[in-house]
Structure 1
Amino acid sequence: MSPANHDTPLRFALIGAGRIGMTHLEALAGCPGTALVAIVEPREAVGAALAEENRCLHLADWQDPRLAKLCDAAIICTPPVTHHPIARSLLEAGCHVLCEKPLTIEHRHAQELAETARAHGAVLMMASKFRFVDDVIKAKAIVEAGILGRVVFYENAFCAFVDMSERWNADPEIAGGGVLIDNGTHALDLARFLLGSIRDVHAQRGLPVQKLPVEDSVRVMFRSGSGVVGLIDLSWSLQKETDAYVSLYGTEGTLHIGWAGSRYRQRGHSQWIPFGRGYDKLAAFRRQIENFRDTIRGHDRPVITPEAAVLSVRAVEAAYASIEGDRWVPIEDAG
């Protein structure tokens, strides 16, 4: 549980020291009011070296009974198949949890975690870095101010060639799927953050490029609660040459969110108005941890609630059902 004295740093455990865990570790190091007390990593040499470097305890197993007693909060960076049991165990012990995406593979497990967090008075957040990107936050404000008028079309592309042949993300038993659950979790949550509720989805699997047991390219169409028609392209095997990863087209203007900077233009104006500085991964991760910390302290509200995290899992689950049935599948997202 959180220390009663708000001047005392929150004690954090990092569970999983892979690629994404290292980014969380770097972000946590620059976050005041936190203290890393444990790293949980089954690879002995890796875990021991990181623990020595960060002057904290190394545990080889998340089921070590010392873990919940050591920490107030944990960041889960393990493969998706492990998210549900690890998060449930920590939440039942009253430990606050920031869990990497996807929160879980199955919607029912995500719902169970949300209920467990409520029952034990613990904060549960799913890591969703794009909600904390400065350009995305500013774009949301522009949309909500009505500067684009009514948004009609939405486009998003997360497409880049990555050799997935040796990565667990392409093992369905570990990851729960392929690029759809991996990048699609980000994409669908980002759409919901910018547009509000998503009513239903229709997804199609692209022709395979890499020899993988999971999908490596997917196209997702969706309809938002407000009537926006959206298109999302996801691929580990195709490169889409575009400066913007999100574009919104409204009755009064157009907006592009880009990797190196963003811009919008209103109808009838020839000049684009730039905003933001582009995508800064570390800064987004740091803001995310700060929001998690401040939510635990009662100083802020979560940017992504447990309910939003559950809906992100439901949206991905619906997209997979759409691929199987070649049909529109409702998400039942009330916003």
Structure 2
Amino acid sequence: MNSRRDFLQKAGISTLAISLPFSEALSAIHLEREDKVLRVAIMGLGSYGTRVAEAMKDCKRAKLVGVISGTPSKIEAWQQKYGIPAKNCYNYENYHLIKDNPDIDAVYVITPNSLHKPHSIGVAKAGKHVICEKPMALNAEEGREMIAACKAAGVHLLVGYRMHFEAKTLEVVKMQRAGEFGKTLFFQGLSGFMIGDPTQWRLNRDLAGGGSMMDIGVYSINGARYMLGEEPIWVTAQEVKTDPVKFKQGVDETITFQMGFPSGAVASCLSTYSMNNLDKFFLNGTKGFAEMQPSTGYGPIQAKTNKGPIEADHVTHQTTQMDEMAAIILDGKKPIIPVDGEEGLKDLVIVDAIYEAVRTGARISLI
């Protein structure tokens, strides 16, 4: 009986639970964990921050409780719309004060790419968990600094890979891992759209760190890795630029790139800001195939294999993402496809290699 009592006390269960039969007490542990909610502040109140906030209205394990913005009018509007108390509102000069706010557990960094590193490290130093939008940083060196800072602070670093929790994507990954497609030999990833406003930050090298590759191209890099289930060992890449006025030096318009994998599988991918109708993944193996189109858009995702269509209810991706990330942080849940800083770093290493391949025309080794 003492061992049971010790176990329950270490698990943080109340005296009432200790008086329950052991099986009921275990259920109480589960319910107590499920009742925990990750209290999140969003940093960066632009269009995607708004999308996340709207999605979180339907979350069961995550709640929007705070904001960080450099625009006072946005803070005021969000306070009114989402019922955020003034004490949970910060700007980019004073957000370090969240260290003294026990009502905030984590901050979702949704600022321009060049600010991901300083903002994420600032959040970590304030003792709060970090959720950072992809790409995690401008390059692998910055990514390593972020990982080190979060480890030193004892906080989680998660990356906003919403597709890692999407039902049809996970079904394809499970089928591949189970060998249902046989030996997978080829992956094609097409990621692109026609970008609009030429003055936006995504076309500013200092803020974005590049062009289409630092935005939409990451999906094909990441998708190749989780669809094939292995890490590439080399890359080659070529750049095409048709509008040097809109896509200035250092801002890539279109890049085609290829990756080779230890098994002999290859990936052929395209990243662009100048073509629509490009949101497709195709996986081919010795026993079958999987095709997803759209593959990474906000949904609903469409997927089929040689066995027929994959059916699953569409749930807003960011709703599922935030609930699953809450389970990772609060419960120690292990996702099927990782979303931690190390996962983000793997993509950044490949992005660096792709840009080097474009610059040199050489095949770049990743080992």
Contact 1:157 1:240 in 2 (8 A): no
Contact 1:41 1:47 in 2 (8 A): yes
**Quick one: which amino acid aligns to residue 82 of structure 2?**
N
Contact 2:260 2:267 in 1 (8 A): yes
Deviation per CA, 1:191-232, whole angstroms, max 9, x where unpaired? 111222111211111132472211111101111232211011
2:305 to 264, 270, 279: 264
In structure 2, C-alpha distance between the alignment counterparts of 1:147 and 1:11, rounded to whole Å: 40
Structure 1 residue 168: Cα displacement: 0.7
**Quick one: which amino acid aligns to residue 45 of structure 1?**
S
2:45 to 6, 13, 17: 17
Match of 1:284 in 2: 317
Change beyond 3 A, Cα 1:21–1:62? farther
Match of 1:166 in 2: 199
Deviation per CA, 1:26-85, whole angstroms, max 9, x where unpaired? 222221233322111112212211122111133222543432333210100000111101
Structure 1 residue 87: Cα displacement: 0.6
Match of 1:197, SS state, is coil
Deviation per CA, 1:95-135, whole angstroms, max 9, x where unpaired? 11110011110211111211222222211111112222222
Identify, as 1 or 2, the structure richer in strand. 1
Contact 1:41 1:59 in 2 (8 A): yes
Taking the TM superposition and a 5 Å limit, the aligned residue runs for 1:276-315 are 276-277=311-312, 283-302=316-335, 303-315=338-350
2:182 to 135, 143, 149: 149
Match of 1:248 in 2: 283
Larger Cα-atom Rg: 2
**Quick one: which amino acid aligns to residue 44 of structure 2?**
G
Match of 1:252, SS state, is coil
**Quick one: which amino acid aligns to residue 288 of structure 1?**
Q
Structure 1 residue 251: Cα displacement: 1.2
Match of 2:352, SS state, is helix
2:258 to 210, 217, 221: 221
Aligned length: 319
Of stretches 95-104 and 68-77 in structure 1, the one that deviates more from structure 2 is 68-77
Match of 1:274 in 2: 309
Match of 2:16 in 1: none
Of stretches 300-309 and 96-105 in structure 1, the one that deviates more from structure 2 is 300-309
Of stretches 162-171 and 64-73 in structure 1, the one that deviates more from structure 2 is 64-73
Match of 2:9 in 1: none
In structure 2, C-alpha distance between the alignment counterparts of 1:232 and 1:113, rounded to whole Å: 28
Match of 1:147, SS state, is coil
Structure 1 residue 235: Cα displacement: 1.2
Match of 2:162 in 1: 129
**Quick one: which amino acid aligns to residue 237 of structure 1?**
S
Structure 1 residue 294: Cα displacement: 0.8
User: Is 1:326 the counterpart of 2:326 in the alignment?
Assistant: no
Match of 1:17, SS state, is coil
In structure 1, C-alpha distance between the alignment counterparts of 2:131 and 2:152, rounded to whole Å: 17
Of stretches 143-152 and 300-309 in structure 1, the one that deviates more from structure 2 is 300-309
Match of 2:78 in 1: 50
In structure 2, C-alpha distance between the alignment counterparts of 1:35 and 1:253, rounded to whole Å: 41
Contact 1:164 1:236 in 2 (8 A): no
Match of 1:202 in 2: 236
Identity among equivalent pairs (%): 21
**Quick one: which amino acid aligns to residue 113 of structure 1?**
M
Contact 1:147 1:253 in 2 (8 A): yes
In structure 2, C-alpha distance between the alignment counterparts of 1:190 and 1:69, rounded to whole Å: 39
Match of 2:274 in 1: 237
In structure 2, C-alpha distance between the alignment counterparts of 1:176 and 1:51, rounded to whole Å: 32
Of stretches 205-214 and 195-204 in structure 1, the one that deviates more from structure 2 is 205-214
Match of 1:35, SS state, is strand
Match of 2:289, SS state, is strand
Match of 2:97 in 1: 66
Report the RMSD for the aligned CA atoms in angstroms: 2.0
Match of 1:198, SS state, is coil
